[in-house]
Amino acid sequence: MPILVAPSLLAADFTRLADEVAAVEQAGADWLHLDVMDGRFVPNISFGPVVVKALRPLTKMPFDVHLMIAPADPYLAAFAEAGADHLLVHPEAGPHLHRTLQAIRALGCRAGVVLNPATPVEHVATVLDLLDIVLVMSVNPGFGGQKFIDSQLAKIAAVRAMIAASGRDIRLEVDGGIDAATARRCIAAGADTFVAGTSVFHSGDYRAAIAGLRGDS
Q: What is the pLDDT of residue 143?
A: 76
pLDDT for res 159: 98
pLDDT the model gives residue 145: 72
Which residue, 159, 120, 153, is CA-closest to 138? 153
On average, the pLDDT of the chain sits at 96
| DSSP letter, residue 190 | T
- Determine the Cα angle at 116 with ends 80 and 171, to 5°: 55
| CB distance 203 to 210 below 8 Å | no
Give the residue-averaged pLDDT of 165-177: 96
Pairing outcome for strands 86-89 and 110-115: parallel
The pLDDT of residue 1 is: 80
pLDDT at 11: 95
Report percent pLDDT > 90 for the chain: 95
Q: What are residue 174's phi and psi, to 5 degrees?
A: -130, 140
pLDDT above 60 for 107: yes
35, 38, 64, 132: the catalytic one is 35
Which H helix or E strand runs over 53? helix 49-55
- Please give the Cα distance from 71 to 91 (Å, whole number): 10
Domain CATH code at residue 159: 3.20.20.70
CB 87 within 8 A of CB 80: yes
Task: Indicate the residue type of 74.
Answer: P
Instruction: Please give the average per-residue pLDDT across 60-86, as a whole number.
Output: 98
35 is catalytic: yes
Backbone φ and ψ of 6, nearest 5°? -125, 90
Res 200 pLDDT > 70: yes
Considering the candidates 38, 73, 132, 175, report the single residue annotated as catalytic. Answer: 175
Q: How many domains, the chain?
A: 1
Confidence of residue 156 (pLDDT cuts 50, 70, 90): very high
Helices 180-189, 152-166: axis angle to 10 degrees equals 40
Of the candidates 209, 212, 193, the residue with the CA atom closest to the CA atom of residue 201:
209
Residues 6+ apart with CB under 8 A from 107: 76, 77, 80, 87
Residue type, 33: H
Looking at residue 217, what is its pLDDT? 54
User: Which residue type sits at 83?
Assistant: G
Asked if the bond preceding 71 is cis, omega within 30° of 0, the reply is yes
Its domain, for residue 162, covers: 4-214
Residue-level pLDDT at 146: 81
Confidence of residue 151 (pLDDT cuts 50, 70, 90): very high
pLDDT at 110: 98
Band of residue 142 on the pLDDT scale cut at 50, 70, 90: confident
Residues 2-57 have pLDDT tens digits of: 999 999 999 999 999 999 999 999 999 999 999 999 999 999 999 999 999 999 99
Contacts of 91 (CB under 8 A, 6+ apart): 97, 113, 115, 119, 123
